[in-house]
Amino acid sequence: MGVYPIKQALSIADEQGLDLVEISPKADPPVCKVMDYKKFLYEQKKREKALKAKASKVVVKEIRFGPQTDDHDYDFKKKHAEKFLKDGAKLKAFVFFKGRSIVFKEQGQILLLRLAQDLEEFGKVEQMPKLEGKRMTMFIAPKKTK
């Protein structure tokens, strides 16, 4: 520790067989450190890799309904939706309107809201049912488990 001229700092680093690394160039005088630079880069990459591994990847699962989906089919798809939410995946439920079935928009919305209500204990609605072209979509995010 101390304030040294550049030549003396370089000779100190050479004696120890290490590198002179500039830490903060804007300081007055600039701050440098004697260290093994390649080892420092390796440690930094290792730290970044560990952080990246800890970051969770968001998986989005889709479930498709028709506007006139029957009760049995609805229950079957609801069980799959429960499983997806328990596994921690987001759920994209959508009603697909074919041809003239677009006149049953209200039925599609009722179906999605019923699904949201049935899955209330497993996840919360992120986006309410919204009509986009021939699809009415709704997103449900899983609840945090402790």
Q: Identify the CATH number of the domain in which residue 22 sits.
A: 3.10.20.80
Distance CA 97, CA 134 (A): 5
Same domain, 72 and 18: no
Are both 84 and 30 inside the same structural domain?
Answer: no
> Do 11 and 35 sit in the same domain of this protein?
yes
Which pLDDT band holds residue 145 (cuts at 50, 70, 90)? low
- What is the per-residue pLDDT for 95? 93
Q: Is the pLDDT of residue 93 over 60?
A: yes
Both 44 and 91 in one domain: the answer is: no
Do 66 and 85 share a structural domain? yes
**pLDDT reading at 146 higher than 60:** no
Interval 3-24 mean pLDDT = 91
- Show the beta-strand stretches assigned E in the chain: 19-24, 31-35, 60-65, 90-96, 123-132, 135-142
Report how far Cα 67 is from the mean position of its chain's Cα atoms. 31
Domain count, the chain: 2
50 Cβ contact list (under 8 Å, min separation 6): none
Q: Using alpha carbons only, how large is the chain's radius of gyration in Å?
A: 29
Range of the domain at 20: 6-54
When the pLDDT of each residue in the chain is averaged and rounded to a whole number, the result is 89
Q: What is the mean pLDDT of residues 47-69?
A: 87
Whether residues 88 and 137 share a domain: the answer is yes
Q: Same domain for 98 and 116?
A: yes
Residues 78 and 130 in one domain: yes
Is the residue at 1 inside a domain? no
Residues 26, 41 within the same domain: yes
**Residue 99 and residue 61 in contact, taking contact as beta carbons nearer than 8 Å:** no
